[in-house]
Amino acid sequence: MKKFALQTAAGLGLLFFSCHTAIAEEIGVPAQGGHPEYLFLEKVPQEQGRATAEMISQALAIGRLVIFSHMKKLTDPELGDKGFTGDYFVEQWLAALEPQLMDVTPVQQRILDKLIWAGKLSIDNNQDRLNVKGTGWKHFLPAKWAREAGLMFNSRTGIVTRQPARNYRHPSNAPDSMDKAVLTRFIQPDHDGKPYGEETMMGKQPVYRYFEPVELMEPCLACHGKPEGELDVLGYKKDGLEAGDVIGMISVAVPIEGPSGK
């Protein structure tokens, strides 16, 4: 009887362990089904779709460059307050943007104002981080700014902005099926370097999706260059790319409507 009890207990323990292991293996997987979290608050006429998406993409690209040009100062461990406030950033950003804003429509201006608000808010929210003294790398870079600004911009417009990459490091930059198809085209040696866009659907909403390739700049080789597989300062494996290679893209989805408003 004692032997039977021990065998039974062992069997139950093994069963529990097997069930527990099976359950544990399911943890962390994506939920099945559901509806995308799209709520498009701003829409533009169909004929303005590409121009609006291009305006947003270029504004984000220029904002990234403004931050990039200040990275030496922002990563100086000897400096405390660096004076890189939201107001200062917007001043620099708008000055660089001005040539792009000559022919914006009223609806495009309203959308741009919300993007400027979002970009400024990201810088304002990161003041404590940016002004830490004694620390060089503060985990703030142009891509982080564009990601944060894009999320806040989305909260007020519903317009979707992302930065899909060929070897993405942040989950939000994981390319979807259309991103992958376009990015595959962008990285081909014979690609002409021009952006790509087309009208498609997101859920039940017609949108204009616009993709602008992002080329690797020389200072970025420390993390994304060669030798491929070597760990960079952040612990990621280097990509083995060269300056000028397409590393990713800026993706914008703008909801469009026809003359009837549908």
Task: Give the model's pLDDT for residue 218.
Answer: 85
Please, are residues 216 and 244 in contact by the beta-carbon 8 Å criterion? yes
As beta bridge partners, residue 212 has: 250
Beta-carbon contacts of 174 under 8 Å, excluding residues fewer than 6 positions away, are 164, 168
Q: How far apart are CA 182 and CA 195, in angstroms?
A: 9
Task: Give the model's pLDDT for residue 26.
Answer: 81
Instruction: Report CA-CA distances (Å) from 28 to 25, 98, 135.
Output: 8, 45, 34
Task: Give the model's pLDDT for residue 260.
Answer: 40
Dig out the tokens for 64 from the structure. 């990234």
In tens digits, the chain (262 residues) has pLDDT values of 555 454 555 555 554 445 454 455 788 887 888 767 788 999 999 999 999 999 999 999 999 999 999 999 999 999 999 999 999 999 999 999 998 888 999 999 999 999 999 999 999 999 999 999 999 999 999 999 999 999 999 999 999 999 999 989 899 888 999 999 999 999 999 999 999 999 999 988 999 999 999 998 888 888 898 999 999 888 899 889 989 899 999 999 999 997 544 5
DSSP for residue 75 = T
Indicate whether this model's pTM tops 0.75. Answer: yes
Neighbours of 108 (CB within 10 A): 19
Q: How far apart are CA 184 and CA 175, in angstroms?
A: 11
Please, are residues 211 and 182 in contact by the beta-carbon 8 Å criterion? yes
Reported for 193-202, long-range contacts at CB under 8 A and 24+ positions apart, including other chains, are: 195/54, 195/57, 197/50, 197/53, 197/54, 199/46, 199/49, 199/256, 202/36, 202/38, 202/160, 202/253, 202/255
The domain ranges of the chain are 37-167+175-257
Task: Give the model's pLDDT for residue 259.
Answer: 54
Task: Give the model's pLDDT for residue 77.
Answer: 96
